[in-house]
């Protein structure tokens, strides 16, 4: 956990650097808190390379607190929220034209059956061009697709 927070904080330091060729942390609520608390010890490249769940980021932050990271409970919660919303498994984009069944299932939180249906439809009809094309998959839970549309790439 502390190692992960260390990594997350490392990412912040790196992202705060002025060089344009270096990775930058994505914008979002909690970014400034993360930079302020974590940048003293860590660079951003470590965090950007991770795709953890909320629980994974929480464990890393707790580890950093145990190692001496200074901040309030609210600030650490903001950091976990920021990481979850910007550099986590949950935040990762899904290319529906290249994703495997498992990637679709996990990333979109759909059933095995729905993921397989997407793959079969894609194989039979070619790449999806838009969310409207994806919604043409027979039997697909359209409400779940709509709920995750911000994660979709075509």
For the chain, domain boundaries: 2-86, 94-153
121 vs 41, more confident: 121
Q: What percentage of the chain exceeds 70 in pLDDT?
A: 83
0.75 surpassed by pTM: no
- pLDDT at residue 45, as a whole number: 77
pLDDT: which is higher, 24 or 68: 68
Average of per-residue pLDDT across 111-136 = 96
Residues 6+ apart with CB under 8 A from 72: none
**C-alpha to C-alpha distances, 48 to 20, 84, 131, nearest whole angstrom:** 16, 12, 28
Q: Would you tell me which CATH number, out of the four given (3.40.640.10, 3.90.1150.10, 3.40.50.300, 1.10.150.280), belongs to the domain 94-153?
A: 1.10.150.280
Cβ(35)–Cβ(16) under 8 Å?
A: yes
Distance (Å, whole) CA 149 – CA 145? 6
- Residue 12 has a pLDDT of 46
Predicted confidence (pLDDT) per residue in 1-47, tens digit: 555 445 455 444 444 444 455 668 888 899 999 999 988 888 777 78
């Amino acid at each position: 956990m502390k190692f992960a927070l260390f990594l997350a904080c490392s990412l912040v330091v790196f992202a705060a650097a002025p060089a344009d060729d270096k990775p930058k942390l994505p914008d979002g609520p909690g970014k400034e808190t993360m930079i302020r608390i974590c940048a003293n010890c860590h660079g951003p490249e470590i965090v950007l390379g991770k795709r953890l769940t909320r629980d994974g980021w929480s464990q890393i932050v707790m580890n950093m607190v145990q190692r001496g990271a200074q901040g309030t409970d609210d600030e650490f919660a903001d950091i976990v929220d920021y990481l979850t919303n910007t550099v986590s498994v949950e935040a990762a984009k899904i290319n529906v034209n290249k994703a495997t069944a498992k990637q679709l299932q996990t990333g979109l939180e759909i059933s095995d059956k729905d993921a397989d249906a997407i793959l079969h439809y894609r194989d039979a009809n070619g790449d999806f061009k838009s969310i409207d094309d994806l919604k043409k998959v027979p039997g697909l839970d359209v409400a779940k697709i709509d709920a995750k549309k911000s994660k979709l790439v075509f």
